[in-house]
Amino acid sequence: MSDIIKQHNHCQICGKAIPVSETYCSEECKKRYAIMMKRRKLIVYAMYALIGIILVVVLLTGQ
């Protein structure tokens, strides 16, 4: 099977076949990935803040 299909990876954003040594097929996909990671990091920070607020409220109300 590997004789028929050359070794390759797929772009993490759009899924196009790319050489093994690369991660993204274009600069546009690289930028989209960076934006996606920033948003994901923001969501994680927001979740930690929400958990902290809930803990403070629960501890202050004495339950």
- Split into its structural domains, the chain has a count of 1
Longest dimension (CA), the chain: 68
Q: Identify whether 35 is part of a domain.
A: yes
For 18, residues 6+ apart whose C-beta sits below 8 A from its C-beta are 8, 9, 10, 11, 24, 25
For 19, residues 6+ apart whose C-beta sits below 8 A from its C-beta are 8, 9
Q: Identify whether 28 is part of a domain.
A: yes
Residue 7 is predicted with a pLDDT of: 87
Q: Identify whether 4 is part of a domain.
A: no
Q: Identify whether 1 is part of a domain.
A: no
Residue 57 is predicted with a pLDDT of: 95
Q: Identify whether 40 is part of a domain.
A: yes
Residue 1 is predicted with a pLDDT of: 52
pLDDT digits (tens, 9 = 90+) for 6-48: 889 999 999 999 999 899 999 999 999 999 999 999 999 999 9
Residue 63 pLDDT > 60, yes or no? no
